[in-house]
Amino acid sequence: MVRFLTSFIHERKKRRILLTIAGIVVGVILLDQLIMPLVVHSNATIAMPNVVGMPSEQAIAILTESGLVVQDVRQQYDSTQPAGRIVLQSPYPGATVRKGRRVYLVTSRGDETVRVPSLFGMTLREAQLLLLREGLHLGRVQVVACDSSATSGIIAQQPPAGISVRIATPVDLTICQDTTELVTVPNLLYRSRDEAGQIVSQANLQLGEVILQHDETFAPGTVIRQEPAAGVRVPPLTLVRIWVASNL
């Protein structure tokens, strides 16, 4: 009799445990398949507002009023929008989203600028290398004959040293040079890159930066621009930069 009661009690405990486990499983299934979808789909959908070009404070206010959550705001240099205005957003404008959706924004830091270095007294080649390191371009080069008391090298520049300018701004130079030592920059336009390199070397100059530029008019590898321009008189071993057509 005692053994029967013990077995009966043990079986009841097992049934209770099994029923509890079954209840938990059913509850999880109902939560996942029925309740959660109802909660998720209860959020209304809206068209993503277009905030590109707006000041960041105004953009955040509009997105918040629309029931969206601005998750992250980053910055990048951009020449299309003034500093502080939105240049990118995700999700994109017009996308169908649900209220509560996270939104990511990128604001403009304005144009990237750099201070113009002092090039006074440098050779043209030294100036070219420094401008390249600073993200600036060599502009027009004017060569004047030195008098007996002058030291050869750069004697003037525009823009002047110390001011802030956009990246890739050209800097014009005036060089005091013994004009008997100058060489004439050859015309490299519409030549192939390899031909341009040979011509530059034969002219006692050096081939500088080669920049690929998308262009469907000319065959890939064709020179479509050069600096300094053809015909300019420059010191020997000056770097000549070329732009080459590319279909990429």
In this structure, what are the phi and psi dihedrals at residue 118, rounded to the nearest 5 degrees? -80, 125
Half-sphere exposure in the Cβ direction for 116 (13 Å, CA): 23
223: left (phi over 0), alpha (psi -120 to 50) or beta: beta
Q: How many domains are there within the chain?
A: 3
Predicted local distance difference test score (pLDDT) of residue 185:
94
- Verify that 96 and 16 share a domain, yes or no: no
User: What's the distance, CA 48 to chain centroid?
Assistant: 25
Q: Which of 58, 79, 108 is the last residue of a domain?
A: 108
- Verify that 177 and 64 share a domain, yes or no: no
pLDDT in tens, the chain (248 residues): 545 445 545 566 666 665 666 566 555 565 556 554 554 455 688 999 999 999 999 999 999 999 999 988 898 888 788 889 999 999 999 999 999 999 999 999 888 889 999 999 998 889 999 998 998 998 888 888 776 555 678 999 999 999 999 888 999 999 887 767 788 999 999 999 999 999 999 999 999 889 999 888 899 999 999 988 899 888 888 889 999 998 87
Residues 162-182: b if buried by 16+ CB within 10 A, e if exposed: eeebeeebebebebbbeeeeb
Cβ(32)–Cβ(26) below 8 Å: no
The β-bridge relationship of strands 69-76 and 102-108 is parallel
Domain residues for the domain of 184 are 113-246
- Verify that 31 and 100 share a domain, yes or no: no
- Verify that 128 and 78 share a domain, yes or no: no
User: What CATH code is carried by the domain that includes residue 74?
Assistant: 3.30.10.20
- Verify that 1 and 26 share a domain, yes or no: yes
- Verify that 238 and 119 share a domain, yes or no: yes
- Verify that 56 and 38 share a domain, yes or no: no
- Verify that 147 and 233 share a domain, yes or no: yes
Residues 71-97: b if buried by 16+ CB within 10 A, e if exposed: eeeeeeebeebeeebbbebeeeeeeeb
* 88 vs 51: CA distance, rounded Å: 9
pLDDT for 118-173, tens place per residue? 999 998 889 999 998 998 998 888 888 776 555 678 999 999 999 999 888 999 99
- Verify that 202 and 82 share a domain, yes or no: no
Predicted local distance difference test score (pLDDT) of residue 5:
44
Predicted local distance difference test score (pLDDT) of residue 31:
52
Q: How much of the chain, in percent, has pLDDT values that exceed 90? A: 48
- Verify that 51 and 172 share a domain, yes or no: no
- Verify that 189 and 206 share a domain, yes or no: yes
- Verify that 89 and 37 share a domain, yes or no: no
